[in-house]
């Protein structure tokens, strides 16, 4: 018998055993649940009953201030919905509560939780839920196998504090998770968490589509890519750009920010990092142990971490998976915008930009030397040669040597309809930078173009070089045209 055939039979046997265990446990535990709901227990009768507040990302429910346990009723609905995965790209997500990740659940240690899982009648698949905060068979999965149009109920006691992942555990488990069925449940310790100014919910996931990154339309799930652990997208909160631009997280200088960070997977481990910040405190793996002064924290698939830091200076801080190609090429990038007064003793900003002339171990300067000036082009040919040098030094890393760009990340300059349609606008982009969505050659891009520190002469040179290469319309840009375009702030 072929090895692949043996492997397949073993897989089918494992699935059969898994499903039989769930169904058997379901019949047993459903009976127990019915008894509990009918008769109640002496402890739950004495507890106050609270309807849980559930929030969609990046928001979290308010901190728990009560000093006693309660009976908390959680109602979570499963829906299968078509939503945005990236600009121009849709995907059929399977969700807990209509969002990816699912609704954030916040309870207290020793609470008794009555959990209701409802599967919307329009769903095409049965679902269940495995909460890593639950002590019991399948983390609740054995009690919540829920067909479309049905509701299941079970209860559990929150024994251990911490930040826990929940996910669907219906076979094939990996496919359900890969379609977005995961979220976080926080069990606060009895004494509560230390007070902070801002709390946010950020959860990473990897998605596997038939098309490539940025391919437009409704994209189906690709099991082959999932088995190879080769995701098309790696994103925070369910889509490319979910935490960018107008959706960026916000804070003010002097505020302490707490991020509840999860990783739904289903496959990749996250190297979570905030560029420009140091985590003052990390609750490692979402537990009670803390680590101080952390630069990057590992968040395993099906795991979590709680990070805290003080926003000391204003600016835009970038959230990334520091497996860095995932951030800049697959979507694992978000923003935290901090506003408020600057503190130059902490961060000065740029103080100097000067020519570096190494001579021995020091930078030396001749007493009568004048600052070097950029060469001025006498004709178009010289402008093209000088422009090529500017392009190689400043533009080539993102837009590539032949101006082809990087699909889904940096727009092409070759045969660019955006560039050729309005040269003055393109001058403004180089001079002033650009943030926000644009369409180039029929593709949507939403990356950030930084403001380049170039002189008018250098901008004229590089624009002339770009216009006369890679199928663009040609022509010559002068310093006078650059000055006029910059003054009009047209970009």
Least Cα distance to 472 among 437, 410, 423 occurs for: 423
- Copy the structure tokens of residue 230: 């080769």
- All residues at 6 or more sequence positions from 42 whose CB lies less than 8 Å from its CB, including other chains: none
Confidence of residue 400 (pLDDT cuts 50, 70, 90): confident
Residue tagged 């200088």 (tokens): 253
Would you state the pLDDT for residue 23?
45
| Whether the Cβ atoms of residue 161 and residue 123 lie closer than 8 Å to each other | no
Q: Judging by DSSP bridges, how do beta strands 71-86 and 89-96 pair with one another? A: antiparallel
Query: Which residues, in sequence order, are CB contacts of 435 under 8 Å at separation 6+?
Result: 245, 448, 449
Tell me which residue of 311, 100, 92, 88 sits closest to 213, measured CA to CA. Answer: 88
Which two three-digit tokens encode residue 35?
A: 């008894």
Q: Average pLDDT in the 434-441 region?
A: 87
- How far, in Å, CA of 81 to CA of 282, rounded? 34
pLDDT of 319-335, one tens digit each? 999 999 999 999 999 99
167 known member of a binding site: yes
For the cut 80, the answer to whether the pLDDT of residue 217 exceeds it is: yes
Q: Determine the topology of domain 49-190 in CATH.
A: Immunoglobulin-like (2.60.40)
Are 446 and 393 in contact by the 8 Å Cβ rule? The answer is no
Half-sphere exposure of 383 (CA within 13 A, CB side): 22
| Average pLDDT estimate for 465-487 | 93
Q: Is 176 annotated as a binding residue?
A: yes
Torsion of CA 293, 205, 171, 168, to 10 degrees: 70
The percentage of the chain sitting over the pLDDT mark of 70, rounded to a whole number, equals 86
pLDDT of residue 445: 86
Q: Is the pLDDT of residue 32 over 70?
A: no
pLDDT digits (tens, 9 = 90+) for 94-151: 999 999 999 999 999 999 999 999 999 999 999 999 999 999 999 999 999 999 999 9
Under the phi-then-psi rule, with left for phi > 0, alpha for psi from -120 to 50, and beta for the rest, what region is 309?
beta
Q: What is the pLDDT of residue 39?
A: 41
CA torsion 132→134→138→143, rounded to 10°?
-130
Q: Share the mean pLDDT of the chain.
A: 88
User: Cα 122 to chain center, whole Å?
Assistant: 28
Residue 11 — very low, low, confident or very high, per pLDDT cuts 50/70/90? Answer: low
Say what the pLDDT of residue 450 is.
Answer: 77
Reported as a pLDDT band with limits 50, 70 and 90, residue 364 is very low
Overall average pLDDT of the 6-14 stretch:
49
pLDDT (0 to 100) of residue 449: 80
pLDDT, residue 40, reads: 41
Distance CA 217, CA 240 (A): 15
Q: How many CB atoms lie within 10 A of CB 71?
A: 19
Give the pLDDT band of residue 407 (cuts 50, 70, 90): confident
Euclidean distance between CA atoms 271 and 391, whole angstroms? 33
Picking from 158, 133, 256, 266, the residue whose alpha carbon sits closest to that of residue 200 is 256
Question: Does 201-339 match 49-190 at the fold level?
Answer: yes
Average pLDDT of span 267-274: 98
Measured distance CA(330)–CA(240) in Å, rounded = 8
In the chain, pLDDT over 90 holds for what percent of residues? 73
Of the listed ranges 37-41, 244-248, 412-416, the one predicted with least confidence: 37-41
120 marked ligand binding residue = no
- pLDDT for 1 equals 45
Distance CA 313, CA 278 (A): 12
Any idea which residue has 């979220």 for tokens? Answer: 183
**pLDDT surpassing 90 at residue 177:** yes
Residue 454 has pLDDT above 80, yes or no: yes
Closest CA to 302 of 142, 193, 166, 155: 166
Residue 68, marked binder? no
* Residue 14 clears pLDDT 60, i.e. is over it: no
**CATH number 3.40.50.10470 is the correct assignment for the domain at 380-488:** no
CATH among 2.60.40.420, 1.10.10.10, 3.20.20.60, 3.30.450.20 for 201-339: 2.60.40.420
Phi, psi for 267 (deg, rounded to 5) = -115, -45
- For the chain, the structural domain boundaries read 49-190, 201-339, 380-488
Provide DSSP, 209-275: BSS-TT--EEEPB-HHHHHTT--SEEEETTSTTTTSGGG-EEEETT-EEEEEEEEEESSPPEEEEEE
The pLDDT value given to residue 173: 97
Name the least confident of 338-347, 360-369, 438-447, 449-458. 360-369
The answer to the question of whether 150 is labelled as a binding residue is no
- 491 a known binding residue? no
The pLDDT confidence band at residue 355, using thresholds 50, 70 and 90, is low
**Rounded (10°) CA dihedral 222, 224, 225, 229:** 130
């Amino acid at each position: 018998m072929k090895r692949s055939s043996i492997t397949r039979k073993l897989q089918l046997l494992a699935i059969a055993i898994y499903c039989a265990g769930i169904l058997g446990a379901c019949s047993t535990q459903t009976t127990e649940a019915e008894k509990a709901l009918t008769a109640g227990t002496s402890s739950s009768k004495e507890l106050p009953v609270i309807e849980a507040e559930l929030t969609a990302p990046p928001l979290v429910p308010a901190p728990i201030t009560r000093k006693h346990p309660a009976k908390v009723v959680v109602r979570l609905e499963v829906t299968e919905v078509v939503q945005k995965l990236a600009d121009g790209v849709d995907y059929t997500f399977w969700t807990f509560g209509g969002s990816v990740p699912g609704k954030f659940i916040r309870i207290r240690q020793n609470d008794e939780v009555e959990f209701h899982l409802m599967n919307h009648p329009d769903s095409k698949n049965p679902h269940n839920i495995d909460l890593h905060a639950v002590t019991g068979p399948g983390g609740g999965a054995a009690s919540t196998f829920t067909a479309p149009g049905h509701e299941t109920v079970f209860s559990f006691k929150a024994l251990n504090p911490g930040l826990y992942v929940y996910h669907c555990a219906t076979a094939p488990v990996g496919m359900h998770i890969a379609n977005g069925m995961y979220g976080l449940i926080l069990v606060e310790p009895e004494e509560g968490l230390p007070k902070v100014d801002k709390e946010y919910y950020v959860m990473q996931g990897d998605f596997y589509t038939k098309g490539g990154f940025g391919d437009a339309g409704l994209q189906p799930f690709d099991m082959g890519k999932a088995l190879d652990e080769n995701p098309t997208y790696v994103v925070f909160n369910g889509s490319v750009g979910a935490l960018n631009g107008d959706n960026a997280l916000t804070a003010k200088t002097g505020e302490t920010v707490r991020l509840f960070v999860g990783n739904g997977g289903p496959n990749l481990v996250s190297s979570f990092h905030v560029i420009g910040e140091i985590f003052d405190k990390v609750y490692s793996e979402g537990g009670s142990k803390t680590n101080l002064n952390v630069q990057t924290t590992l968040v395993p698939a099906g795991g979590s971490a709680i990070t805290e830091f003080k926003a000391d200076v204003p600016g835009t801080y970038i959230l990334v998976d520091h497996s860095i190609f995932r951030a800049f090429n697959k979507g694992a990038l978000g923003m935290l915008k901090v506003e408020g007064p600057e503190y130059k003793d902490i961060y000065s900003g740029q103080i100097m930009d000067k020519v570096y002339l190494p001579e021995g171990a020091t930078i030396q300067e001749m007493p009568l030397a004048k600052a070097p000036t950029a060469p001025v082009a006498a004709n178009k040919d010289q402008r093209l040669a000088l422009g090529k040098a500017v392009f190689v030094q400043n533009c080539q890393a993102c837009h590539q040597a032949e101006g082809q760009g990087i699909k889904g990340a940096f727009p092409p300059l070759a045969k660019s309809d955006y560039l050729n349609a309005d040269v003055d606008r393109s001058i403004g982009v180089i001079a002033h930078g650009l943030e926000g969505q644009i369409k180039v050659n029929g593709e949507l891009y939403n990356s950030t173009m930084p403001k380049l520190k170039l002189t008018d002469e250098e901008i004229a040179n590089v624009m002339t070089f770009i216009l006369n290469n890679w199928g663009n319309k040609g022509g010559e840009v002068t310093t006078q045209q650059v000055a006029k375009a910059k003054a009009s702030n047209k970009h």
